[in-house]
Every structure is written in structure tokens, then in C-alpha cells.
């Protein structure tokens, strides 16, 4: 076991430019912990927000970003029996993945399915768990219903498109450029619309024969949210997933009353932590979906570990289509 390892470290809350590659000392494992050699790290929008001090979980610098990774187990605590050194795994947590080694709780570890490479496994779990939790657990999306996915070219948006098609829904995705809209079509959306189209709500209603979308999946927020509420069906479900636009919208309560739609908050990470039965249900569902290769990620950018700051900058500039991955080993 090496006594030190390299970690891409946020040294100030000034965004990607604060990332420096720093040597850290290994620490002994505590009960229930697993140490993994990281092969690839999937970056998420919250990683960027954390480097800016804008995420709800706000660690003080210096800290290591990275919510999910894939790699190989190199050490386990004495009380661990479920995994062993040499196992190929995926893992998720509140941070720390963007390093050569990562110590996580045993419960955060899942086997890497043969259907996924390390690179794919590194960016599968967070987006897939958000899509599953939103559409299945919170939105109760059914086969034959219609789903409008805002920001469908993002990692979470693409996972939602693929999860909804797996369920059997009709999917309408929005994207801000032709390149992004082409990727949304490739992901399986039945219909793709320009998110800036002033007739967006009307076109959704036209696609749904005047009814509107049964469920709306919104990781974007901002002005697009209010446009989308005009496209929701009677008794529809509006899933509040995040605010990638940087703007938190205010919903008109009278409109929700008149159309009797539900506003539903989605916390795919926190909800299972608070509800052990939900955690078991979600973990079992995700293991099965992963084994089937459902929601296989679209990866638009791959970076070397030394270019971690550039990888986060791609997310900041909104250049990513699907996922951005930092690779420590060829995968």
C-alpha cells in the first residue's frame, strides 16, 4: 500500500481554476470502509458548483471534488465481507472521487457490470439513480404516458430519456443547439424541440394531441420552467430535479391549482439515506438496470487526470453533451 496519492484539490471557491494536483497521505480505514484505486471519474454539475461554493453541500477548501468513480478495490476494513481486493466496482459519495485513491463506505460500492467499461461505470450511477428515483419513485411514470425532459442533452437529462423509453413512455426532449438535439434523438427521444422556441408549450400540446405532458422532468429551472408549466397535462406531475440554469424559479400557485398538477421535489441521494427501505429498493433496481446496460452514458469529453481543471471548465462553459469523464487509466 502506498503511503501517499495524488488528488485534484479545490484550493479556493473560485471555480475550476482553483484545482491543483496535490499529494495526500493515506489514512487507515475505519469500520465499514473500502479503499479503491480510481480508474475513471464522472464529473457532475454539482462538482462545478462545489468549486464555486454554490452547492447545498458546501465543503471548505481544500477539498477533493468528485461524486462518482469506477475502479478496483485495493483494501477493505476487517469487517467487510461483501467486496474484496481486486473487485471491479462503481462508487458514489459526497466528494473525494477525483483522486488516485478514494475511501468510501461499503454501502456506496456496487459491482461494475461486465456491460460497462470503467469510463462508463464512472458516470453511470449518479445520473441513473436520479433518473430512476425521479421517474419511478417520485413521478410514477407509466408505459404509454408522455414525458417532457428539459435539458435533455445533459447527463441526467439523457439518463431520463433512456429510462423513460425503458419504461415505455413517449419522450419529448429539449436542447439548445442542433448538435445537442441530434444527441437527444440518438438517445432515443421520440420528439426533440428547441428549448428557446417561443412556441415550445404549444408544440408539446400538439405532439400530445392537446393533452400536454403527463410528467415533466426539470433539471434546468429558470425561465424555461414557467414555459414548461404551460405544457403540462391536467393532473400532471412536475419533477423539480435541479437548477442548471443558475436561476431558481417561482411557481404560480394559482396555475398549479387550476390545472391540478403536482410539484414534486427530487433528492435521489438524500431520500434513500433517510429511508432504508427506499435505499434497498433503489439499489436493487439500479443493479438490475446496470446489468442490462440501461441508461448507458453518452460521453462527449474525456480528460487526463492532470487536466481535471479543464474538465470542470467544460461543464462551466456548458459545452458537454452527456457526460464528462476524467480517466486515470485507459478504459
Closest Cα to residue 175, out of 152, 149, 198? 152
Give CA angle at 252 (257, 150), nearest 5°. Answer: 100
Domain that holds residue 94: 4-124+297-327
168: left (phi over 0), alpha (psi -120 to 50) or beta: left
Contact predicate 47/92, CB 8 Å: no
| Boundary-marking domain end, from 235, 254, 270 | 270
Residues 168 and 238 in one domain: yes
| Boundary-marking domain end, from 251, 270, 289 | 270
pLDDT band at 330 (very low <50, low <70, confident <90, very high): low
* Cα separation, 154 vs 75, whole angstroms: 34
Residues 133 and 249 in one domain: yes
SS (H, E, C) 22-45: EEEECCCCCCCEEEEEEEEEEECH
* Cα separation, 15 vs 38, whole angstroms: 23
What 3-state class would DSSP assign to 57? coil
245-288 per-position pLDDT tens digit: 888 999 999 999 999 999 999 998 889 889 999 988 998 898 88
Residues 175 and 261 in one domain: yes
53-109 per-position pLDDT tens digit: 988 888 999 999 999 999 999 999 999 999 999 999 999 988 999 999 999 999 889
Contacts (Cβ under 8 Å, ≥6 apart) of 235: 260, 261, 262
pLDDT at 38 over 70: yes
Top pLDDT among 81 and 330 is at: 81
Task: Copy the grid coordinates of residue 129.
Answer: 439513480
Residues 162 and 227 in one domain: yes
Contact predicate 309/19, CB 8 Å: yes
Total Cβ atoms within 10 A of residue 232: 26
What 3-state class would DSSP assign to 271? helix
Residues 68 and 116 in one domain: yes
Whole-prediction pTM value? 0.87
* Predicted local distance difference test score (pLDDT) of residue 156: 94
* Cα separation, 51 vs 202, whole angstroms: 39
Mean pLDDT of 232-249: 93
Mean pLDDT of 39-64: 92
Contact predicate 278/137, CB 8 Å: yes
pLDDT at 206 over 60: yes
For position 248, which CATH number holds? Answer: 3.90.180.10
Total Cβ atoms within 10 A of residue 65: 28
* Cα separation, 77 vs 93, whole angstroms: 18
Residues 119 and 146 in one domain: no
* Cα separation, 327 vs 308, whole angstroms: 9
Residues 134 and 264 in one domain: yes
pLDDT band at 163 (very low <50, low <70, confident <90, very high): very high
Average pLDDT, the chain: 94
* Cα separation, 298 vs 154, whole angstroms: 9
**Number of structural domains found in the chain:** 2
- By DSSP bridging, strand 33-43 and strand 146-149 are unpaired
For every residue of 284-298, DSSP letters joined together read HHHHHHHHHTTTPPP
Residues 208 and 86 in one domain: no
Mean pLDDT of 159-182: 96
* Cα separation, 228 vs 172, whole angstroms: 12
Residues 62 and 118 in one domain: yes
Find cell 464522472 and name the residue.
Answer: 42
Q: Convert 149-176 to b/e letters by CB count within 10 Å (16 or more is b).
A: bbbbbbbbbbbbbbbbbbbebbbbbbbe
* Predicted local distance difference test score (pLDDT) of residue 329: 83
Residues 140 and 257 in one domain: yes
106-121 per-position pLDDT tens digit: 988 989 988 899 999 9
SS (H, E, C) 221-270: CCHHHHHHHCCEEEEEEEEECCCCCCCCCCCCHHHHHHHCCEEEECCCCH
For every residue of 151-168, DSSP letters joined together read TTTBHHHHHHHHHHHHHT
Amino acid at each position: 500500500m502506498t503511503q501517499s496519492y495524488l488528488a485534484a484539490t479545490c484550493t479556493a471557491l473560485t471555480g475550476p481554476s482553483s484545482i491543483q494536483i496535490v499529494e495526500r497521505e493515506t489514512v487507515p480505514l475505519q469500520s465499514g470502509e473500502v479503499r479503491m484505486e480510481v480508474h475513471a471519474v464522472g464529473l457532475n454539475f454539482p462538482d462545478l458548483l462545489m468549486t464555486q461554493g454554490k452547492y447545498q453541500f458546501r465543503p471548505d477548501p481544500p477539498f477533493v471534488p468528485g461524486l462518482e468513480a469506477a475502479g478496483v478495490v485495493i483494501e477493505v476494513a476487517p469487517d467487510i465481507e461483501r467486496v474484496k481486493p481486486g473487485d471491479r466496482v462503481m462508487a458514489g459519495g459526497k466528494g473525494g472521487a477525483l483522486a488516485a485513491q478514494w475511501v468510501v463506505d461499503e454501502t456506496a460500492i456496487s459491482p461494475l457490470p461486465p456491460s460497462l467499461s470503467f469510463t462508463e461505470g464512472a458516470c453511470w450511477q449518479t445520473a441513473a439513480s436520479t433518473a430512476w428515483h425521479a421517474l419511478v419513485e417520485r413521478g410514477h411514470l407509466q408505459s404509454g404516458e408522455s414525458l417532457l425532459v428539459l435539458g435533455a442533452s445533459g447527463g441526467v437529462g439523457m439518463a431520463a430519456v433512456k429510462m423513460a423509453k425503458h419504461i415505455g413512455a413517449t419522450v419529448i426532449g429539449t436542447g439548445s443547439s442542433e448538435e445537442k438535439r441530434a444527441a437527444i434523438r440518438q438517445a432515443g427521444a421520440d420528439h426533440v424541440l428547441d428549448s428557446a422556441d417561443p412556441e415550445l408549450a404549444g408544440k408539446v400540446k400538439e405532439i400530445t394531441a392537446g393533452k400536454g405532458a403527463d410528467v415533466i422532468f426539470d433539471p434546468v429551472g429558470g425561465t424555461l420552467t414557467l414555459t414548461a408549466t404551460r405544457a403540462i397535462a391536467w393532473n400532471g406531475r412536475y419533477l423539480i430535479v435541479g437548477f442548471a440554469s443558475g436561476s431558481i424559479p417561482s411557481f404560480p400557485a394559482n396555475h398549479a391549482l387550476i390545472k391540478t398538477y403536482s410539484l414534486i421535489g427530487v433528492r435521489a441521494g438524500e431520500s434513500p439515506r433517510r429511508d432504508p427501505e427506499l435505499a434497498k429498493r433503489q439499489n436493487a433496481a439500479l443493479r438490475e438496470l446496470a446489468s442490462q446496460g440501461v441508461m448507458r452514458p453518452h460521453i462527449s469529453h474525456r480528460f487526463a487526470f492532470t487536466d481535471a481543471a479543464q474538465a470542470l471548465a467544460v461543464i462551466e462553459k456548458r459545452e458537454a453533451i452527456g457526460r464528462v469523464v476524467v480517466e486515470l487509466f485507459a478504459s
